[in-house]
Amino acid sequence: MRIPRPVAIALWPLSQVYGRCVSFRKWMYRSGWLKVRRLKATVISVGNLTTGGTGKTPMVLWLAERLLAEGKTVAILSRGYRGSAGTSDEMEMLRQRLHDRVRFGVGPNRYASGCRLESEQRVDVFLLDDGFQHLQLARDVDIVMLDGSRKLVDEWLLPAGLLREPLDACERADILIVSRRLERPSWDGRFADRSCLFYAQTRLVGFRRFEADGGPLHVTEIGSGPFLAFCGIGNPEAFFADLQQWQVPIVHGQAFADHHRYSQGDVRRLQVEAERWKAAGLVTTEKDAANLPAAAFRLPVWVAVIDFVFSAEGELLTAIDRVLQTRRGAAA
């Protein structure tokens, strides 16, 4: 969510301190003062430069599906941000879609989680969710997601802005993916010389009813609406814009903090708000569905099931293979 400009200006000195700490930490790893650890299997990291909302988890899902189709055994490593009991909203979303076809390691020490999974069963590929800043773990491919709906060249570092690292950190990445775009946005001219630059757009698969069995339904099968939309994700405006693009009639959008865990009170307030707007139902994201309590909504709640479509999917897969072959050759 956007930080008000007066607040950002007041926090700007802290951003300078934060930036120096980030640079010092990277130097500690480059110089060997902090140790980089390597797992036996291939590691593909998916990360970003901002505090959320770029599509990391859908990208991990997309990669997992393609690797599974190639017959690979896949495991996903995640810190489990703001999660509990060894899971998180993102991991629950992935479990909902992938079931037991992949294995999961959740915890702050992703090297330890990976070692445990490797000791139990062979793993061909680890997918490191939100791994760009997790320098402790060596990776074979570094994929960085950039939000095409935000003008990142004007963004500041935390806490005054949304950037975890300066844009120059993209030089560490093997592949850059601009999400929510199928063409070049106006701000990405600084990456024009990158051969491994790709574009992705969120695609609606369908809607499933919250706490109900069955596959996703077409948008025309959930009723004519209108609907109240709500979400607690890194870029709520993008979700509301997606719903508009998908021709879902929305009367109101309610945004919560990223990774918001909904209480029974939140459920009651959402229900009242939906009735006030005369909504026929509510729509939310898969990530939010994992944070909703088992509650009896008086109106139906529909969960948007999404995936990614790329402007050059074949070229992206080839680029990942090329980086892997290069790294394996160097290791030999």
Q: What are phi and psi of 125, to 5 degrees?
A: -140, 130
Domain of residue 163, CATH code: 3.40.50.300
Note down pLDDT in tens along the chain; length 332 residues.
Answer: 678 888 999 999 999 999 999 999 999 999 999 999 999 999 999 999 998 778 899 999 999 999 999 999 999 999 887 655 667 888 889 998 999 999 999 999 999 999 999 999 999 999 999 999 999 999 999 999 998 878 888 889 999 999 999 999 999 999 999 988 766 655 555 665 556 889 998 899 999 999 888 889 999 999 999 999 999 998 899 999 999 999 999 999 999 999 899 999 999 999 999 999 999 999 999 999 999 998 778 899 999 999 989 988 999 999 999 999 987 655 43
Contact 171, 162 (CB under 8 A): no
Helix (H, G, I), strand (E, B) or coil at 213: coil
**Domain match, 324 and 277 both:** no
- Position 323: which residue type? V
Would residue 100 count as lying in a domain? yes
Residue-number span of the structural domain to which 288 is assigned? 205-306
Residue 87 bridge partners (DSSP): 84
**Which phi-psi region, left, alpha or beta, contains residue 261 (left: φ > 0; alpha: ψ -120 to 50)?**
beta
Report the C-alpha gap between 121 and 107 in whole angstroms: 19
Cis peptide before 6 (omega within 30 of 0): no
- Regarding whether 324 and 297 lie in a shared domain, the answer is no
The whole-number pLDDT of residue 20 equals 97
Domain assignment of residue 73, yes or no: yes
Residues 108, 159 contacting (CB under 8 angstroms): no
Q: Are residues 156 and 257 in the same domain?
A: no
What tokens does 103 get? 């294995």
Res 53: pLDDT: 78
Using alpha carbons, select from 84, 86, 128 the residue that is nearest to residue 110.
Answer: 128
DSSP string across 204-238 = EEEEEETT--SPPBPGGGS-S--EEEEE-SS-HHH
Do 41 and 188 belong to one domain?
A: yes
Please tell me whether residues 50 and 161 are part of one structural domain: yes
Amino acid, res. 252: H
Q: Position of tokens 């459920």?
A: 267
What is the rounded CA–CA span in Å between residue 37 and residue 121?
Answer: 20
> Is the separation of the CB atoms in 55 and 22 below 8 Å?
no
Q: Do residue 186 and residue 284 come from a single domain?
A: no
* Position 82, amino acid: R
318 located within any domain: yes
Is 261 found in the same domain as 185?
no
Locus of tokens 């979700």: 239
Q: Are residues 12 and 156 in the same domain?
A: yes
Residue 24 lies in a domain: no
Report how far residue 135's alpha carbon sits from residue 131's, in angstroms, rounded to the nearest whole number.
8
How many CB atoms within 10 Å of residue 162? Answer: 24
Question: If phi over 0 gives left and psi between -120 and 50 gives alpha, with beta otherwise, what is residue 211?
Answer: left
Cα separations in angstroms, 236 against 58, 122, 230, 285: 15, 38, 8, 10
51 and 186, same domain (yes or no): yes
- In sequence order, the β-bridge partners of residue 277 are none
297 plus 325 within the same structural domain: no
State the pLDDT at residue 332: 36
**318 and 300 share a domain?**
no
Residues 241 and 302 in one domain: yes
What CA–CA distances, in Å, run from 330 to 126, 323, 324, 326? Answer: 20, 11, 10, 6
The C-alpha angle 37, 176, 68, rounded to 5 degrees, equals 65
Residue 25 lies in a domain: no
Q: How many domains are contained in the chain?
A: 2
The region that residue 259 occupies, defined by phi over 0 for left and psi between -120 and 50 for alpha, beta otherwise, is left
pTM for the model stands at 0.91
